[in-house]
Amino acid sequence: MTKEEVRASIGEIGIVPSIRVSSSDDALFAAEAVAGAGIPIVEVTMTVPGALKVIAALVRSSPSLLVGAGTILDVEAARHCLDAGAQFLTSTGFERELVDFAVREGIAVFPGALTPTEIIAAWKAGADFVKVFPCAQVGGPSYIRSLRRPLPQVPLIAAGGVNQQNAGEFIQAGADALGIGGHLIPQQAIELRQPHRIQELARRFSGIVKTARNPKDIE
């Protein structure tokens, strides 16, 4: 999948599920549960034990699943992720060398940023999306709205504290997509191996995004 196709897919779905769990088995279970509910995108964070093996396994077993790598801190880690088959890279903050690497390699990259200065720098460096993190903690939807007005050309992913109560507001405020972790993939659902619970949450979030984008459809 090309970086243009990755951008289009994330823009269409509007949700990037972030998998941050304590074992590789848990990560595989979470990814399969999310995909089973119609969200063909997962971000496997580098904090997952054996994250590279998880990425490689998902790429092999689920060719229709868009698999990315998250919480990348340096170019060396990014290179290993590409070797494992990752189709997009994300980071918690803006690391210029990481973005430069992704641009050279032709892979989609979503650096984290918070301030307008960081967001502009990330966009100018070649980011495909800029992940505003941690978003809810610094004003939530109102912060996205305040960024969107002067920066309408920058595709934004709202991440950090996105839940069922505020997800629609983030989209209405101008977020192009949402990065969602524990509110989509609860730890208890992982521990009890409850795929139906994760899938129900995935369907709810998908419905929230769709409704927020097309409010006239429910009138």
Determine the average pLDDT of the residues in 203-216.
93
C-alpha 190/C-alpha 188 separation (Å) is: 5
Tokens representing 156 are 């934004």
CB 158 within 8 A of CB 175: yes
Per DSSP, what are the bridge partners of residue 68?
Answer: 43, 88
Letter for the amino acid at 17?
P
Torsion of CA 114, 134, 163, 81, to 10 degrees: 100
Is the pLDDT at 218 greater than 60, yes or no?
Answer: no
CB 26 within 8 A of CB 49: no
Angle, helices 51-61/24-36, rounded to nearest 10 degrees: 40
Is the pLDDT at 217 greater than 90, yes or no?
Answer: no
- Go through the domains of the chain in sequence order and give each one's CATH number: 3-209 (3.20.20.70)
Q: Of 106, 71, 109, 75, nearest to 89 (Cα)?
A: 109
Positive/negative CA dihedral, 93, 79, 124, 149: negative
For the stretch 34-85, pLDDT in tens is: 999 999 999 999 999 999 999 999 999 999 999 999 999 999 999 999 999 9
% of residues, the chain, pLDDT over 90: 96
CA terminus-to-terminus distance, the chain? 37
Per-residue confidence (pLDDT) for residue 148, from 0 to 100? 95
Is the pLDDT at 205 greater than 90, yes or no?
Answer: yes
Which stretches of the chain are assigned E, i.e. beta strand? 15-19, 41-45, 66-70, 88-90, 108-110, 112-113, 130-132, 156-159, 177-180
